Structure 1
Amino acid sequence: MTATEQRIRELAYQIWQSEGCPHGEEGRHWEMACKLAHAEENGASIKPTGRTRKTTTKPTDATPSESKATRTRSAAAKAGPSETGSETVQTIRKPRTPRTVRKEDK
């Protein structure tokens, strides 16, 4: 067995393990390992064959110094409690119901 073949075996085994040890995928794992081993020998880097993700940026109306959330909070603070209605907002907690006692425990 040559050093290249041994490296292919090791790579195929690592690929198999990384995929959760599926059955019936030996050929695909071997092919992937062959490509990786040959790329290692040639010093080339292999790019993934999957789809590339599109980079998207979301438009924002925030300035670098002040975000929208900061502006909203500061506007509410300036407005006072009567204009924002925060004096009527309270956290309502549901009371916990007591556990039932079994007849055997009495």
Structure 2
Amino acid sequence: MSTDDKRIREFAYQIWESEGKPEGEEARHWEMARKLAEAEALAPNKSPKSGAGKAPATKASDPKAAAKPKATTAKAKPASAAKVIPPGEKPAEKKPRAPRKPPAA
């Protein structure tokens, strides 16, 4: 079995598992896996098993890389802004949550 066939088999298995292991979808999973493996092979100089999905490593001696702040996409709203209460109305009181029971041993 060639390396390509092994990679396609791995992708097909991952797809099958991610969809809840349905029966009768082998051909569709295999085709999806084949396309993924083909796209992976065309990607420039990225090995599939050596750090796929990991952030690129930065050198500790590079001050520019350490000084860059991370961009945030959404700002969190304060808890008080969650619900606006009209004047003259009382806010609904929240009931305290019941404590969780420890798992039976």
| Normalised-by-shorter TM-score class | 0.3 to 0.5
Which of 1 and 2 has greater Rg?
Answer: 1
Alignment TM-score, normalising by the size of structure 2:
0.45
